[in-house]
Chains A and B, each alone.
Chain A
Amino acid sequence: MKNLTASYSPHLHTKESLEKIMWLVFISLIPSGMAGVLIFGMRALWVIFLGIISAIATEALIQLMAKKKVAISDGSAALTGLLLSYNLPVSSPWWLTVTGSFIAVAIGKQIFGGLGQNIFNPALVGRVFLMASWPKYMTNFTSPVNTQAWFKFSGYDAITAATPLTLIKEGKPLLGISYMDLFLGKHGGCIGEVCILAILAGALFLLIKKYISWHIPITYILTVAIFTWIFGPKGAFSGDWLFAILSGGLILGAFFMATDYVTSPLTRKGQLIFGVGCGVLTAVIRLWGGYPEGASYAILIMNATTPIIDRYTKNRIFGK
């Protein structure tokens, strides 16, 4: 009888598990990866594969070294590697991808004590590390394969193309990139961030299945839209808000990175604050910062504020 213990209520059981959620998020990201491969060619698949494999290898290596249980099957390392490779240009050399995955898992996650302990989104830590270290390779974007088909005849393998946000930053014309092109991803950019349609398909699945809530992504995207609209180039309320939403890594970041369970606030109110903060920072960096895109920095900065947001938006305990 001594071994029988009654645990405290509520005696609820859920079929959800960490593994299941991680792999579902992984699956919901596959459409945008496929779109990336279609747009940029088979090399994109190689970059994604390398990112995932090196992230898993880093996780296993560190867990073996720390004499912890090797937990690569929970999918968190694979997801980090996938998200990191989505944030790389298709032309990135193999060592760039491997270093990024290593930094993401080792510095971004394991050094804090592994999954659930990290303060910052690991994939973004990897991306920002690469961005600061090798800006030359991280901004070497190529244009979609179908528009460069005729270049093959002239003996070039690929042509470089700046992202729409970079063109805007440098004050150059967009050269006929329509909103539809932005929505479908027919422009230069990172592998997984260009095709908004595919990202939204995956995000919708997660929203319907309630693995992510609308609070962070919607407030994030709306804030960027409103902020860009207000502070337009030709005075107040003249900004191109639709362009701001459809370009850069905003949609991917809003739905798949800002909603990371570990590094975002727990309460609904906190999530709204988090979303607005991300939006304001992204818009400020885009409009007045030194970089053309600020989504990754904005999310990382807001990650740092998550503990404070959580403390001040704590739900009232019933009866107190």
Chain B
Amino acid sequence: MKINTKEFIKGLIKENPTFVLALGLCPTLAVSTSLSNGLGMGIAATFVLLGSNIIISLIKNLVPNKIRIPCYIVVIATFVTIAELTMKAYSPALNRALGIYVPLIVVNCIVLGRAEAYASKASLLNSILDALGMGLGFTLALLLISGIREILGSGTFFGHTLIKEYEPIFLFALPSGALLVIGLLMSFFNILKERKLKQ
């Protein structure tokens, strides 16, 4: 079978879930205070996305159309439970830092959006590629936002102090800083898109 790399690549920039599709902004705003939180959230969401896309792509012909959303939620919730219990067992500190936002992956619009818009109509292989691309795009977006916020807002990089004399811009550690960073990055992506359209 031919691997369609386009399905994987599109999630990174062209259909980036955070900056272009504007999906899953709630956890993005909430947990992007530090790089380790962002990375943890990204990996957890990617795992759930991959698992749910695989199962939903496999059961797409068995699920009656009228009750498809509850069925998808059950599948997604299963994987979220696996992710949460694993995180609790092996990385309790991260689990505490992410708090309620781990169980809330169940209602993350990226996961349900990909299930509804993609995996329920596409083949297994394409669904896997889509999940990996979207998951990676989400993780990269989280790393970008949380990197900017951690460096500017607390003057650290993965918890290591960068410059001792630096006076952290505390605003970037606050929710308003998250909105500001996401807004500026989105406008930057829009500029890129416009430039590309003009060419």
Interface residue from B167, B176, B184, B187 paired with A132 (Cβ < 8 Å): B176
Give every chain A residue within 8 A of B167 (Cβ-Cβ).
Answer: 95, 134, 137
Is B162 in the interface zone, CB < 8 Å from A?
no
B187/A134 in contact, CB under 8 A: no
A16 to B176, CA, bound (A): 39
B171/A133 in contact, CB under 8 A: yes
Interface residue from A95, A111, A132, A137 paired with B171 (Cβ < 8 Å): A132
Report the nearest B residue to A135, measured CB to CB. Answer: B170
A129 to B170, CA, bound (A): 9
- Chain B: minimal CB distance from A296 (Å): 14
Is B174 in the interface zone, CB < 8 Å from A?
yes
Give every chain A residue within 8 A of B170 (Cβ-Cβ).
Answer: 132-135
B187/A111 in contact, CB under 8 A: yes
Give every chain A residue within 8 A of B82 (Cβ-Cβ).
Answer: none
Within 8 A of B (CB), among A39-86: none
Give every chain B residue within 8 A of A135 (Cβ-Cβ).
Answer: 170
How many residues of chain A get a CB closer than 8 Å to chain B's CBs? 10
Is A107 in the interface zone, CB < 8 Å from B?
yes
B174/A132 in contact, CB under 8 A: yes
A132 to B168, CA, bound (A): 11
Give every chain B residue within 8 A of A133 (Cβ-Cβ).
Answer: 168-172
Report the nearest A residue to B177, measured CB to CB. Answer: A132
Is B180 in the interface zone, CB < 8 Å from A?
yes
Per-residue contact bits, chain A 105-126, to B (CB 8 Å; 1 contact, 0 not)? 0010001000000000000000
- Chain A: minimal CB distance from B148 (Å): 14
Give every chain B residue within 8 A of A95 (Cβ-Cβ).
Answer: 167
- Chain A: minimal CB distance from B168 (Å): 8
Per-residue contact bits, chain A 127-142, to B (CB 8 Å; 1 contact, 0 not)? 0010011110100000
A117 to B187, CA, bound (A): 16
A107/B180 in contact, CB under 8 A: yes
A135 to B168, CA, bound (A): 11
- Chain A: minimal CB distance from B172 (Å): 8
A265 to B171, CA, bound (A): 29
A214 to B180, CA, bound (A): 35
Give every chain A residue within 8 A of B172 (Cβ-Cβ).
Answer: 133
Which residue, of A99, A111, A133, has the highest number of chain B Cβ atoms within 10 A? A133
Report the nearest B residue to A129, measured CB to CB. Answer: B171
Give every chain A residue within 8 A of B168 (Cβ-Cβ).
Answer: 133
Report the nearest A residue to B169, measured CB to CB. Answer: A133
Which residue, of A99, A132, A137, has the highest number of chain B Cβ atoms within 10 A? A132
A95 to B180, CA, bound (A): 21
Within 8 A of B (CB), among A236-283: none
Per-residue contact bits, chain B 168-199, to A (CB 8 Å; 1 contact, 0 not)? 11111010100010001001000000000000
Give every chain A residue within 8 A of B176 (Cβ-Cβ).
Answer: 132
- Chain A: minimal CB distance from B100 (Å): 24
- Chain A: minimal CB distance from B184 (Å): 8
- Chain B: minimal CB distance from A252 (Å): 23
Report the nearest B residue to A130, measured CB to CB. Answer: B171
A211 to B176, CA, bound (A): 35
Give every chain B residue within 8 A of A132 (Cβ-Cβ).
Answer: 170-171, 174, 176
Give every chain B residue within 8 A of A129 (Cβ-Cβ).
Answer: 171
Within 8 A of A (CB), among B155-170: 167-170
Per-residue contact bits, chain B 88-102, to A (CB 8 Å; 1 contact, 0 not)? 000000000000000
Give every chain B residue within 8 A of A111 (Cβ-Cβ).
Answer: 184, 187
A15 to B150, CA, bound (A): 52
Per-residue contact bits, chain A 171-198, to B (CB 8 Å; 1 contact, 0 not)? 0000000000000000000000000000
Within 8 A of A (CB), among B84-115: none
A95 to B169, CA, bound (A): 12
Which residue, of B168, B171, B172, has the highest number of chain A Cβ atoms within 10 A? B171
A107 to B176, CA, bound (A): 13
- Chain A: minimal CB distance from B40 (Å): 26
**Sample (20) of A-B pairs whose CB atoms are under 8 Å apart:** A95-B167, A99-B169, A107-B180, A111-B184, A111-B187, A129-B171, A132-B170, A132-B171, A132-B174, A132-B176, A133-B168, A133-B169, A133-B170, A133-B171, A133-B172, A134-B167, A134-B169, A134-B170, A135-B170, A137-B167
List of 7 A-B pairs having minimum Cβ-Cβ separation, nearest first: A133-B171, A132-B171, A133-B169, A133-B170, A129-B171, A132-B174, A134-B167
Not counting A95-B167, A99-B169, A134-B169, a sample of 15 additional A-B residue pairs whose C-beta atoms are within 8 angstroms of each other reads A111-B184, A111-B187, A129-B171, A132-B170, A132-B171, A132-B174, A132-B176, A133-B168, A133-B169, A133-B170, A133-B171, A133-B172, A134-B167, A134-B170, A135-B170
